[in-house]
Amino acid sequence: MYIIIAGCGKIGANLVKNLSNEGHDVVVIDPNEDNFAQLENGTNCLTITGVSIDEDVLKSAGIEHADALCAVTSEDNVNIMTAQIAKQLYHVPHVVTRLYDPEKDEIMRQMGLETVCPTMLTVAKIGELLEKTEEE
Amino acid sequence: MRILIVGGGNVGYYLVKTLMAEKHHIMLVDSSLARCERVENAFGGAYVEVTHGDGTNADCLRDAGIYHAEALIAVTGQDQNNLVSCMLAKNYFGVKRTIARVKNPKNIRVFEQLGVDSVISSTARIAGSIDQELDWADVNALLTRQATHVRVREALVAQSSPYNNKRLNEIGLPKGMIVVCVVRDGEAVIPDGTTVLQPDDNIVILGNECDLPQVISNIRGETK
């Protein structure tokens, strides 16, 4: 698959690593060039310096023939806008959006975006661990 | 009409001022307490209600009274925030009309395709005027008639200018003077306080005619 990752933070960098190890073609976009230093040496991917809510940047990342896009910048609204451009304007088949705000996560899911909310995942996991401790 | 405005910076402030004069009922949301207070102190009352909060958050929009709004106007300085406010208004709250300001002129098409009813880009408008080789003489003739002391001038930033590589908010322009537009590499940018001036920037500046000559010679790096 040809995959675009918007945002090269901790999640973005690890996503790039996993996906390229699995043999996917990966392009990663970040406005801050220094963030690409987080990519491990020898990681096979293209890097593009720019903001992912700029159509020209997305085009240079090859959005017209991308199979998937993951919006994982640190800003919820940037992720929403990036995902909307990918989904509605370029009809990218698979678009995943990371949102920190659980309320926004819920609403955007109702509007048809496929979302991941690390906040709620963490809350659920901690709850699960506490329950387990209680049982022991 | 009941109108919800998201963003109380300069655009939002003057929008409130203009719309309230036309007897509209205004609800304004901004994430900065200082900006909220500025609008509240100037216009607060029965027809202007100010809410401090994140205009891209559904709860906050609800508190601000979005259910009563017939239109939402998003004029923060960030395109992504303006889009999310309009999306929530239109698709989640069913507001009839959404209007957004964009900084990047290329986002006009993006916003329209994503369902925002009207999209405004001052950058595109000014760039359009410059493309038409607008003659400053005409503008100045108009200004002379309407506002006797105000003039508009254009100047190129020189390598030797004391303003070079400085932010607009640190060059200390005289009171009442504003940089309307910075043309860089053929593109017109609407600056804010954090815009850094660079050599070869072409600057369009509006201000009192007494102060302009000094500022213009500073821009051009001419020492006196």
| pLDDT tens digits in sequence order for chain B, 224 residues long | 899 999 999 999 999 998 888 888 999 999 999 999 999 999 988 899 999 999 999 999 999 999 999 999 999 999 999 999 999 999 999 999 999 999 998 899 999 999 999 998 877 676 655 544 445 666 666 666 666 677 788 888 988 899 989 998 888 888 888 898 898 887 888 898 889 999 989 888 888 877 888 888 889 887 64
Task: Determine which helix (DSSP H) or strand (DSSP E) holds B48, and give its type and residue range.
Answer: strand B48-52
Contacts of B52 (CB under 8 A, 6+ apart): B29, B30, B31, B32, B33, B36
Model pTM?
A: 0.71
pLDDT the model gives residue B133: 45
Mutation for A interface: B82, B84, B109, most A CBs within 10 A: B84
Q: Inter-chain contact A54–B106, Cβ cutoff 8 Å?
A: yes
pLDDT the model gives residue B135: 57
pLDDT the model gives residue A54: 94
Exposure string for B100-125, b = 16+ CB within 10 A, e = fewer: bbbbbbebbebbeebebbebebbbbe
Q: Inter-chain contact A77–B56, Cβ cutoff 8 Å?
A: yes
A55 interaction partners in chain B (CB closer than 8 Å): 106-107, 110
B66 interaction partners in chain A (CB closer than 8 Å): none
What's the CATH number of domain B2-120, 3.40.50.300, 1.10.275.10, 3.60.15.10, 3.40.50.720?
3.40.50.720
Query: How many contacts (CB atoms, under 8 Å) link A and B?
Result: 52
Question: What are the residue ranges spanned by the domains of chain B?
Answer: 2-120, 128-219
DSSP string, A1-65: -EEEEE--SHHHHHHHHHHHHTT-EEEEEES-GGGGGGSPTT---EEEES-TT-HHHHHHTTGGG
Could you please state the CATH topology (level 3) that the domain comprising A2-135 is classified under. Rossmann fold (3.40.50)
pLDDT the model gives residue B128: 58
Which residue stretches of chain A have pLDDT < 70? Answer: none
Q: Inter-chain contact B92–A56, Cβ cutoff 8 Å?
A: no
Q: Inter-chain contact A53–B80, Cβ cutoff 8 Å?
A: yes
Contacts of B69 (CB under 8 A, 6+ apart): B2, B3, B4, B27, B89, B95
Exposure string for B137-160, b = 16+ CB within 10 A, e = fewer: eebeeebeeeeeebbbbebebbee
Could you please state the CATH topology (level 3) that the domain comprising B128-219 is classified under. Alpha-Beta Plaits (3.30.70)
| Complex ipTM value | 0.89
Q: Inter-chain contact A111–B84, Cβ cutoff 8 Å?
A: no
A101 touches chain B (CB under 8 A): yes
Neighbour count for residue B212 (Cβ, 10 Å): 20
